[in-house]
Structure 1
Amino acid sequence: MVKNYKIIVSYDGTRYNGWQKQKNVESTIQGKLEALLTRLAGKEVTVQGSGRTDAGVHALGQVANFRMDTELSEGELFQAMNQYLPEDIAVLELKTASDRFHSRLSAVGKTYCYRIYTGKAKPVFDRKYVWQLPERPDVSRMRKAAAFLPGQHDFRSFCGNKHMNKSTIRRLDRIEIVEDGEELRLVFEGNGFLQNMVRILTGTLVECGLGERSPEEMKEILEARDRSASGQMAPARGLTLVEVRY
């Protein structure tokens, strides 16, 4: 009997070309999952993710689903996946879902976290997970700029795909900037995010914090609906998909 399985996946994206399967399945998260499940099932299994994380982006709680006919119990399938997946990919939870559940179409919100390191010494053990800045940005300026962003807006100026022909309107529920010693954490919550959106928002907010832009420019950038109006795109390594909500 074919069942619809929901999984929560954690991964270190450092050595992968993102989530989405490409010609070389060895280099993507989706490709790794599908290759293993196809081997376990004896026939092709397709894995649907809640979204496509970029190359180098990490996940604490990526959600995916797949349909599979197997004699393995949920516990046995969970164990097999964790046994045979690479050490930088883990299945945190596996359970049978309703037939109508779809990890992307059923999602109502996501949380991302971007980590910035501002210390003088190299962050040796966190170097793959933070963006190291040579100077600390003014957090009050960043917060002032971020205040223009929550709500439903056209975020085309913060979309990495210049040829996007679908709607670029999204609802951003919250941006929180947390100071923790030498680290800044930017938390983004919303109903969905465009390609590279969090990284471009982060890069633009940092430019505001460094005095390269005024916080008030955020309103003009939104209204421009043009990628060239916004700032730099922050490196992938600092970004983590924290949670997907249903």
Structure 2
Amino acid sequence: MTKKVVLVIEYNGSEYKGWQAQKFGVPSVQENLEKALSVVANHPVQVVCAGRTDSGVHASAQVVHFETDAERNERAWTLGVNTYLPSDITVVAASYVSDDFHARFSALSRRYRYVIYSSPFCPAILAKGVTWTYKTLDVDAMREAAKVFLGTHDFSSFRAIGCQANTPIRTILNFDVQKLGQYIVLDVRANAFLHHMIRNFAGVLMSIGAGEKPVSWAKQILDAKDRTKGGITAPPTGLYFVDAQYPDVFNVPKLHLGPHFLPYVDEPNYELPS
């Protein structure tokens, strides 16, 4: 009897050309995970993820599902699968779910964190796990500018030129900017994201935080609906997929928000602007 399994995956994307399996010889997270799952299931396995990540982008809680007729306990789908995975990919939770669950289409929202390390010196540790800037950033100015993005908008100015989404309309449910020691964290939740959207947000907010542009520049770019009017695309190194929200009925495993090197902070209450 075929069953559906949901997994929560953590990975360091530094050595991969993104999540999605590609042509032979191009390293991807999906290909490595499917190979490991196929060994444990003893049959070919294909997975579907909540949100594909680009080359060099990480995840602390990527959600995937797959179907199997293998009789295995949840321990086999975690510790067993991890035996066959490279050290930079780990299954951190597994659960059986109902047949109507879909990692992508059942998701109510997706959440990313973009981690900036502000210091005069480039970090030796986590050099590929954060985005470094030697500039001092005004977090209050960045937070004020980020408020412009809340709600439903045409985000054409923040989508990659090659973005294949059918529409540039997206709804930002929350956008918080926090300073945690030398880390500055952009915490964004939305119904869905466009290609390079968060990295383009980061590029704009870092310019504002550095005092190179005024806070009002964020709205000017948003209103322009033109990518050529936007700022630079920030590097992928600081970007993490940290959560996908689902209806409670599916009982998808929930973890503390990552990445795990950040200190835990209380969750603020978010409301959509009227």
Tell me, yes or no, if the aligned pair for 1:11 and 1:58 is still in contact at 8 Å.
Answer: yes
Instruction: Report the Cα offset of residue 82 of structure 1.
Output: 1.3
Deviations 1:212-242 (A, max 9, x none): 3222122221122111111111111101111
1:46 alignment counterpart:
46
2:89 alignment counterpart:
89
Instruction: Report the Cα offset of residue 25 of structure 1.
Output: 6.4
Separation in structure 2 between the aligned mates of residue 192 and residue 127 of structure 1, nearest angstrom? 28
Separation in structure 1 between the aligned mates of residue 103 and residue 163 of structure 2, nearest angstrom? 25
Separation in structure 1 between the aligned mates of residue 200 and residue 75 of structure 2, nearest angstrom? 40
Tell me, yes or no, if the aligned pair for 2:50 and 2:63 is still in contact at 8 Å.
Answer: yes
Separation in structure 2 between the aligned mates of residue 33 and residue 181 of structure 1, nearest angstrom? 34
Structure 1 stretch displaced more, 26-35 or 53-62: 26-35
Instruction: Report the Cα offset of residue 107 of structure 1.
Output: 0.4
Deviations 1:82-104 (A, max 9, x none): 11111111111111111011100
Tell me, yes or no, if the aligned pair for 2:163 and 2:194 is still in contact at 8 Å.
Answer: no
Kindly provide the amino acid, as one letter, of the partner of residue 152 in structure 1: T
Paired residue secondary structure (2:228): helix
Separation in structure 1 between the aligned mates of residue 155 and residue 206 of structure 2, nearest angstrom? 18
Paired residue secondary structure (1:167): coil
Paired residue secondary structure (1:72): coil
- Report how many aligned residue pairs link the two structures: 246
Paired residue secondary structure (1:143): helix
Q: Does 1:215 align with 2:212?
A: no
1:11 alignment counterpart:
11
Distance 1:124 1:165, change over 3 A: closer
2:67 alignment counterpart:
67
Separation in structure 1 between the aligned mates of residue 198 and residue 163 of structure 2, nearest angstrom? 18
Listed as ranges, the matches of 1:58-207 within 5 Å are: 58-162=58-162, 164=164, 166-207=166-207
Tell me, yes or no, if the aligned pair for 1:16 and 1:56 is still in contact at 8 Å.
Answer: yes
Structure 1 stretch displaced more, 185-194 or 115-124: 115-124
Tell me, yes or no, if the aligned pair for 1:157 and 1:227 is still in contact at 8 Å.
Answer: yes
Separation in structure 2 between the aligned mates of residue 66 and residue 161 of structure 1, nearest angstrom? 32
Separation in structure 2 between the aligned mates of residue 53 and residue 25 of structure 1, nearest angstrom? 18
Separation in structure 1 between the aligned mates of residue 73 and residue 180 of structure 2, nearest angstrom? 43
Separation in structure 2 between the aligned mates of residue 227 and residue 157 of structure 1, nearest angstrom? 4
Structure 1 stretch displaced more, 35-44 or 144-153: 35-44
Distance 1:36 1:26, change over 3 A: farther
Q: Does 1:37 align with 2:37?
A: yes
Distance 1:162 1:96, change over 3 A: same
2:241 alignment counterpart:
241
Distance 1:227 1:162, change over 3 A: farther
Separation in structure 1 between the aligned mates of residue 16 and residue 97 of structure 2, nearest angstrom? 28
Paired residue secondary structure (1:223): helix
Among the aligned pairs, what percent are the same residue?
37
2:270 alignment counterpart:
none
Tell me, yes or no, if the aligned pair for 2:115 and 2:239 is still in contact at 8 Å.
Answer: yes
Tell me, yes or no, if the aligned pair for 1:16 and 1:28 is still in contact at 8 Å.
Answer: yes
Tell me, yes or no, if the aligned pair for 1:119 and 1:183 is still in contact at 8 Å.
Answer: no
Paired residue secondary structure (1:148): helix
Distance 1:161 1:63, change over 3 A: farther
Tell me, yes or no, if the aligned pair for 1:58 and 1:239 is still in contact at 8 Å.
Answer: yes
Instruction: Report the Cα offset of residue 165 of structure 1.
Output: 5.3
Paired residue secondary structure (1:126): coil
Paired residue secondary structure (2:212): coil
Distance 1:73 1:207, change over 3 A: same
Deviations 1:158-198 (A, max 9, x none): 11144535011111111111112222111111111111111
Paired residue secondary structure (2:125): helix
Deviations 1:46-73 (A, max 9, x none): 1000111111111110000011121322
Tell me, yes or no, if the aligned pair for 1:172 and 1:190 is still in contact at 8 Å.
Answer: yes
Which 5+ residue runs of structure 1 have no aligned equivalent?
Answer: none
Q: What TM-score do you get using the length of structure 2 for normalisation?
A: 0.85
Tell me, yes or no, if the aligned pair for 1:25 and 1:32 is still in contact at 8 Å.
Answer: no
Paired residue secondary structure (1:99): coil
